[in-house]
Amino acid sequence: MANIGRYNTLTVLEKSDHGLYLDGGQHEKILMPTRYVTPEMTIGSEVECFVYNDSEDRLVATTETPHAQAGEFAYLEVVSVHPTAGAFLDWGLSKDLLLPYREQGDIHFTEGDGAVVAVYVDDYTNRVAASTRLHNYLQQEKPDYEVGDPVQVLIYGDSPLGFKAIIDKRYRGLLYYQETSDKLEPGDQFTGYIKKVHNDGKIDLRRDPSGYGRVDGVSQIILEKLEAAGGVLPFNDKSSPDDIRAAFDTSKKAFKQGLGRLYKQRLILITETGIQLVKE
């Protein structure tokens, strides 16, 4: 069975003057227009294709690659606005993707704007469309990530704690402000790293694979020595200047500043007897 708005592997049933007809299961025959047909596509062969509605609402198959399929999220550009239908977005296919007015919330889009949207299939029309009501489409199950895994991050907003993100076009995450020195905006995309996966499926992110993206100078030296010592060192802000100089080759003032930065970023704990790395 062909899944609308998704990639499919479909069997070629027959040829026609307009292209190839593919087996769409309960959707019956689906046309792949001639411009997408290659010599390798013969009757009985299987074809990797994307299925969606053309401008006349007929199901068609294409070898073009959309920026996102149904169930995913993307940052797309508004290429035109219809007075009654909504905004049309460039999603990488020959037919633009509709963002209906009812799915825009309080946002007023104009040509040239960017929009972070969820791509979905309308239950009533079977048309692929877009929505800015992201929370209605975010995956709820706990994802199978390990700490440190690289992921694709799409920023879509902010909160008192950090930047709200979509991970790998599917999951929700949060990049805490202390994890980056950049001011991020909706639509910013980059490779991030898994810091923690909570039981409710929410994900904490790192901008840097080591988690120390904002750390440099004395702070970096402290972290490296902590890691080499198994996460615990007998130094803190009460240690003598001579002991600090001997261990870290820096002044006590610089050492205390480095500790302060690490503590604010929740990377270390300062105890009566020394310092230790925060365990994930």
pLDDT score recorded for residue 213: 52
pLDDT in tens, 93-131: 989 999 999 999 888 899 999 999 999 999 888 899 999
pLDDT score recorded for residue 69: 95
pLDDT score recorded for residue 181: 76
pLDDT score recorded for residue 9: 96
Domain boundaries, the chain: 7-62, 73-136, 150-206, 217-277
pLDDT score recorded for residue 189: 94
Average pLDDT over residues 270-279: 88
Residue among 66, 88, 64 at smallest CA distance from 78: 88
pLDDT score recorded for residue 182: 81
Is the confidence at residue 212, as pLDDT, over 60? no
pLDDT score recorded for residue 215: 53
pTM here is: 0.72
Mean pLDDT lowest for which of 14-18, 28-32, 175-179? 175-179
Average pLDDT over residues 138-145: 84
- What's 217-277's CATH class? mainly alpha
Note whether 7-62 and 150-206 share their fold: yes
pLDDT score recorded for residue 49: 96
Fold of 73-136: OB fold (Dihydrolipoamide Acetyltransferase, E2P) (2.40.50)
Q: How confident is the model at residue 210 (pLDDT cuts 50, 70, 90)?
A: low
Is the confidence at residue 250, as pLDDT, over 90? no
Residue 51's alpha-carbon distances to 26, 63, 96, in angstroms, are 13, 9, 14
Is the confidence at residue 41, as pLDDT, over 60? yes
- What's 150-206's CATH class? mainly beta
CATH no. of 7-62: 2.40.50.140
Is the confidence at residue 216, as pLDDT, over 70? no
Q: How confident is the model at residue 4 (pLDDT cuts 50, 70, 90)?
A: very high
- Which of 59 and 252 is assigned the larger pLDDT? 59
pLDDT in tens, 155-170: 999 999 999 999 999 9
DSSP state letters, the chain: -PPTTSEEEEEEEEEETTEEEEE-GGG-EEEEEGGG--TT--TT-EEEEEEEE-TTS-EEEES---S--TT-EEEEEEEEEETTTEEEEE-SSSSPEEEEGGGSTT----TT-EEEEEEEE-TTT--EEEES-GGGTS--SPP---TT-EEEEEEEEE-SSEEEEEETTTEEEEEEGGG-SS---TT-EEEEEEEEE-TTS-EEEESSTTS-TT--HHHHHHHHHHHHTTSEES--TTS-HHHHHHHHSS-HHHHHHHHHHHHHTTSEEE-SS-EEEPP-
- Which of 224 and 59 is assigned the larger pLDDT? 59
